[in-house]
Structure 1
């Protein structure tokens, strides 16, 4: 098994790799929408005291997809190699419809899309509204 750190993805918020390869299977750690260049969170707006005022789920979905693509590329895989995706949303009632619409843009053919499970959770470790946990295959 080899740990993979992708220079084009945001740094991990803990002590773990972006991904780990085991045989022809690639397991990605939880990936969020933070900007790899400056660690900002696309679509977030803050009050003067630093508290989150509002966020744009579509901006965060597009950013998290970009970050997943960066980890896949650094690992020798492609977007089309995704097999299974677990999605964590902090506000399922508010964000699922918009998330699902962006998903459909990126996977227009449901038959060839990866399997997906979407969970509503109360919080993530940074002020993000979405995180993905992915499994992909790697062809030798």
Structure 2
């Protein structure tokens, strides 16, 4: 079975040597996707809803902005790989603060996934590879004709 790597300039740059996604047969596996701005690296200035003061403390923190951005990044990668939002079958979400962010995450998730309802797992992690607070790992099934 052949495997094709998918990379796009329309999503944040991977933070290591890995593709945005990999297609194997009709399955599409997305690498971990965060909320950073399209084309950006790990710089804090490229994280929606996050701004630091000169002492490194949060000056602005908007978790909802990060949720919306990560969902938009996933959608972009899916589309650039020939899939659609509705093709998602499994979503694993990593949050750095379940107590603070889960309610907001659930609210935004319900907006984006109202019709497409993949399986979902949400876990809290101690940290993510940049100062983001959410990351998604997704699997989609690409339908015939896509």
TM-score interval, normalised by the smaller of the two chains: over 0.9
CA shift at 1:38, angstroms?
4.6
Structure 2 stretches lacking a partner, 5+ long: none
Distance 1:54 1:81 in 2: 34
CA shift at 1:55, angstroms?
2.0
Aligned counterpart for 1:117 among listed residues 113, 117, 121: 121
| Moved beyond 3 Å, runs of 4+ | 49-54
- Describe the shift of the 1:89–1:77 C-alpha distance in structure 2 as closer, same or farther (beyond 3 A): same
SS at match of 2:22: strand
CA shift at 1:53, angstroms?
4.4
Counterparts in 2 of 1:1-140, with a 5 A limit?
A: 1-39=3-41, 40-109=46-115, 112-140=116-144
Q: Deviations over 1:74-115 (max 9, x none)?
A: 100000100000000000000000000000011224xx4000
Q: In 2, are the aligned partners of 1:57 and 1:95 still within 8 Å (CA)? A: yes
SS at match of 1:10: coil
TM-score (ref. length: structure 1): 0.93
Distance 1:11 1:59 in 2: 19
SS at match of 2:101: helix
Comparing 52-61 and 117-126, the one that deviates more:
52-61
Structure 1 stretches lacking a partner, 5+ long: none
Comparing 52-61 and 115-124, the one that deviates more:
52-61
CA shift at 1:7, angstroms?
1.6
CA-based RMSD of the aligned residues comes to 1.4
SS at match of 1:102: helix
Distance 2:58 2:40 in 1: 18
